[in-house]
Amino acid sequence: MFSLKKLVLVLCVFSFYNLSAQVTLSTDFTDEVNERAPLHNIWSIANRISPQNGSNVRPGLKMNTVRMIGGINKIVNGVRMKDLDFDTCLYDSINNQYVYRFEPLIARLDNIINSQTEIHQIVLDQPPWAFQHGYTFIPEGTIDYVNFRENEQISIYGNSLPPADQVAYHDYIVALMTELVANYGEEMVLSWRFRVGSEIETPNHWYGTKQDFIEHFENTENAVRSVLPDAIIGLHTRAPDFLYQNGTVLNYKGEPFASFAEDLIEYCFDNNVQYDFWGVSDYVVLGNGNLRNMSIKYNKLFADLINHPEWNANATIDLMEYATVTTMNGADGNGFINAETSHAEIVELYFSNIFYENKGNGLDLVYRWGNRTGSQDPPGISILNSMNGKVHYTTDISGTPETSTNDVDAIFAKNDGATEYDVLVYNYNNNALNYIDNEAVNVSFTSELPEGTTLYYRSISYDKTNNKLQNFLEENSGLGYVMSGFDDKGDPERILTEAGLAAYEAYENPNPHQYSDWESIVTTARTDGEPGSIISLDTEIASFAFEKIEFRTNSNLVTVLNTPQYIWTTNEDFQQFATSQMASTIAGGIINMSITGNYPNLIYDTSFNVDNFDRFKIVLKNETDSDKFWFVWYIDGVKHQRRIRPGINETSFNTYIIDLSVDADWNGTIDSFNVEVANLSSLGGTVEIDSMELMLKVGIEEHSITTNIIEGFGVVSPSGGTVFTGNEVTFNTYPDAGWEFQGWSGDIVSTENPLTIIVTSDLDIAATFVQDGLSVDENNLDNAFTIFPNPSSNGVFTIKSNTTAHWEVYSLTGVKVLSGKEKTIDISNFSHGMYILKLNNSYKKVLYN
C-alpha cells in the first residue's frame, strides 16, 4: 500500500531530481505542444437490450438502446420462435403489403424519456420479421450460394438477415423517422444517434455477406437522411483483423465471416455514403494473455481504421461493447464474468489513457453493460472522472521500470485557471497477473506558477489491499467460498457459494481507499530561464495499482460559504431551464411556452440540496385547457411528484404554492426538477411563468461565519460567509512548509483539523500555526501540573503543581515572551491567542481569548 505520507519532496532543478526513481513521468504545462483536449467521461454510455419499462440506468449516464424496432425472438417450450409483440412493421399476406405499427417502440421510448435517462443512440439492427418475406430457406448444412439456411432464419438475437425487399425497407425507415419526429420533435431526434447493425461480421448478428451489408447500410443511411439530413448515422463492426473461427464457418455465399471494414470504408468514400461514427467491440479477458495485452489495443482495434487513406477523418470511434472479464463464459454457462480485482481498475485506466491520447484521431466513448440504478463507478473510473473538464497534457516517460514488463504511465491535467493540477499514475503488467515489487516513480511537472509558489497536495491510492473482494478472500482463505471451476478474480455474485456471498455482503472492507491529509510544497526554479517553475516528488506504485495526486493553489482550497436561494424571476434565471415538447421565448422576466407535443416539460437539470426548503411557489398564467400541472423531482433517477392545480384559460398571473414537506422523499440532494403539464392528446396553448421559488422552512435563519489566522502561516478554509441554521460546516487548515497547525480559538476551542460542527449561531474562530518542532503532542503532555482557568478571558493563569520551578511562556513562533517562578502567570499585556507554557521540561498549551 502507498500513501502520500510516503511521498518524498524533491525541491531541486528539473535535470537533477530523483536519482533513485527508476521511472520518471513528467509534463510541461507551459508548452502548447503537450496540450490536448479537456478530459471527459468516456464511460458515460450504458447498453440496454429492448428496454420495456424505462431505463434502469444510473443517473448521469446515457443509454444505447439495442434491438428496439423488432425482429427479436422468444423461447417457447425450449424452442426459439419469432416474437412479433414489439415489431414495428408487419406483413399483411392477404393484401400483400407492409403494415407499420410504431406504438410498441413509442411506448418504450416514452418510458425511457420519462425515467429521465438521455437516449444516446438507437440501434437499427435486427429488422422486423416482416422483412424476411420473399426468402426461401434450404436445409441446414447445405449451400446453393443463393438462399439462406433454415437455421439462419431465427438466430440467437432474432432476425439477422438483410431485408429481402430493400425498397420496402427504405420506405419503412422513412416512415419510422417521420414518426419519431412527429412524437418527439426534430431537435430531440437529432440529438440521438442511429447505428446500423451490431458486430456485423459475426454470425447470429448478420448472416448476410459483406456486399449485403454495404447495400443495407447505404439504403438505411439514405432513408434516414431523406427525413433528417443532419442525422448522426454510423455502424458497428468487429476489429479490422477479425476472422470468425479462423475462417472455418462460411456464409450462404460460401465466404468466411471476416472483417467488412476495409471494403466498407472504400465503398463509402467512392460513393459519397456518409458515416458519422464507427463502433468496434473489445473484451479484456484477464485469463487470456493476448486479450489482456493493453499495449497492442490501439493498433489492433483502431489504427487500421484511422490510417486508411479513405477514412472519414470527421468520424468518431467508440468502443460499443466492452467489459473487463475473467472469462467469456463462466463455469455456470451464463456468459462472461466481470473482473472484480484491482486488475480491472488498471485495465480501464489504461484504456482511458488510450482514448485521451487519441482524442484527436476521433476516439470518444466506451459503452458498458450494467450501470444500473443504484450501482457505482469502479474506484479507478470514479477517481478519473473527478478530473473531467481539466485539460489533458501528454506524458513524457523516461527511465526503466524495476520490473521490465511493468507498464507505468500517467494522465496529467490542469484547470483553465492554473489553480488545480492533477496527476493519475498507474502500473499495469501485460505479461503476468501476479503482484510483484513496487515501482519507484518520480512525478514532475513544469507550470506557469512563479518560483516560490506554495502548493498544497494530497493523494488517493488504490491497490489490492484496498479491494474488498481480495481482502475478503485473503481473510477467509481455506473456507471454500469460491465455487469449483471459477476464477477468484470474478464478480462475487457469480463465483461465490451461497454461504460465501452472504459472508461477503456482510463483510466490511477494512482498508477502503481514502485521501491523505493535505501537505505543502514550494515550487522551484526552471533551469532554462523561462518563466514558471517546477514541482517534483517521488512515490511508489504497487502492481496493478493507481495513485492520484492533486496539487492546489491556496486560492483554490479556500471556499466561501453561502446560503443558496432558489428564486427564478429574471431572463438570466429562466435561461437555466430547458424545455421539452414546448417552444419557449424569454423576455421581460417572463418565460412563454407554447405546447408542441406530448409530455411538455420545463426542466431544471441541476442537482442541489433541498433540506432547508419545504414549499414551491410559482406565479403563472395558464392559457391551456388543463389544470393538471405537476412539480416533479428526481432522486437517484426515481421520479417523485406533487400536483399543482392552476386555473384553466387564465387571463392574468396567479400564485400557487404547494407543500413539499408532506412527501417523505422531499429531502437530501435531488437530481433535477421539472414543471410538467399533464399529457392530453388535444392539449395546446401557452403557459407563461413570471417567477418560481423554493421557500425556506419556518425557523431557518442565516448565520455569519468569520475565520482568520492569529499567528503563523498557512491557509484556512472556509474564508467565511453565511450558512443556514443546522447546516454542517467543516473547517480546514493547510499549513505552509515549515509550519504545523496548533489549534482553533475564539467561539470554538479545539485542536481538531478538520473540524466539523453543526451551526446554530454566528461564529468567529481563528487558527494558530506553529513552526515545526514547537507543536505540543497531546499524548505526551505532562499531567504533573495543571493550569487554570484555561482558556482565560483576562490573560491570567494559575499553576497548580507539586513543585515550584522556573516557568517560561513562548509564542507559537518560538519567541520567549515571559518567565518567572510565581504561581500566577499574567500575559494580559500580550496579544490574544495560543501560547506554550514550559515547566520542568514539560509543556502545556494555554489560550488567552
Same domain, 645 and 689: yes
Same domain, 588 and 650: yes
**pLDDT per position as a tens digit, 19-30:** 456 899 999 999
User: Which pLDDT score is estimated for 59?
Assistant: 83
Please name the residues in contact with 615: beta carbons below 8 A apart, sequence gap of 6 or more.
Answer: 657, 658, 659, 660, 661, 694, 695
Is residue 600 included in any domain, yes or no?
Answer: yes
What CA–CA distances, in Å, run from 74 to 64, 126, 128, 740?
Answer: 22, 14, 14, 69
User: Which pLDDT score is estimated for 694?
Assistant: 96
Is residue 674 included in any domain, yes or no?
Answer: yes
Helix (H, G, I), strand (E, B) or coil at 338: strand
User: Which of 696, 711, 737 lies at the terminal end of a domain, its last residue?
Assistant: 696
Helix (H, G, I), strand (E, B) or coil at 135: coil
**pLDDT per position as a tens digit, 587-608:** 999 999 998 877 788 999 999 9
Same domain, 666 and 721: no
What CA–CA distances, in Å, run from 237 to 192, 206, 609?
Answer: 20, 11, 44
**pLDDT per position as a tens digit, 476-529:** 999 999 999 999 999 999 999 999 999 999 999 999 999 998 888 999 999 899
User: Which pLDDT score is estimated for 699?
Assistant: 87
- Cβ-contact 274, 222 below 8 angstroms: no
Identify the residue whose cell numbers are 461465490: 496
User: Which of 746, 771, 796 lies at the terminal end of a domain, its last residue?
Assistant: 771
CA–CA distance, 100 with 87 (Å, rounded to integer): 9
CA–CA distance, 647 with 100 (Å, rounded to integer): 40
Same domain, 825 and 755: no
Q: Which of 848, 590, 641 is CA-nearest to residue 743? A: 848
Residue ranges in the chain whose pLDDT is less than 50: 1-19, 776-782
Same domain, 793 and 756: no
> Could you tell me which residues are beta bridge partners of residue 427?
408, 545
Q: Which residues of 447-482 are buried (b: 16+ CB within 10 A; e: fewer)?
A: bebeeebbbbbbbbbbbbbbbbbbbbbeeeeeeebb
Same domain, 592 and 676: yes
Is residue 169 included in any domain, yes or no?
Answer: no
**DSSP per residue, 229-244:** TT-EEEEE---TT-BG
Helix (H, G, I), strand (E, B) or coil at 599: coil
Same domain, 640 and 712: no
Is residue 5 included in any domain, yes or no?
Answer: no
Same domain, 578 and 671: yes
User: Which pLDDT score is estimated for 833?
Assistant: 82
CA–CA distance, 658 with 650 (Å, rounded to integer): 19
> Could you tell me which residues are beta bridge partners of residue 114?
none
User: Which of 713, 743, 771 lies at the terminal end of a domain, its last residue?
Assistant: 771
Q: In terms of residue numbers, what domain contains 640?
A: 572-696
> Could you tell me which residues are beta bridge partners of residue 276?
none
Is residue 756 included in any domain, yes or no?
Answer: yes
* Residue 41 burial (CB count, 10 A): 18
Helix (H, G, I), strand (E, B) or coil at 258: strand
Same domain, 584 and 654: yes
**pLDDT per position as a tens digit, 158-177:** 999 999 999 999 999 999 99
Same domain, 626 and 576: yes
Rg, C-alpha atoms of the chain: 33
User: Which pLDDT score is estimated for 376?
Assistant: 87
Same domain, 591 and 623: yes
CA–CA distance, 345 with 565 (Å, rounded to integer): 40
User: Which pLDDT score is estimated for 841?
Assistant: 64
Domain count of the fold of the chain: 3
CA–CA distance, 821 with 836 (Å, rounded to integer): 16
Same domain, 750 and 674: no
Q: Domain holding 593: CATH number?
A: 2.60.120.260
Is residue 519 included in any domain, yes or no?
Answer: no
Q: Which of 708, 769, 760 is CA-nearest to residue 729? A: 760
Is residue 594 included in any domain, yes or no?
Answer: yes
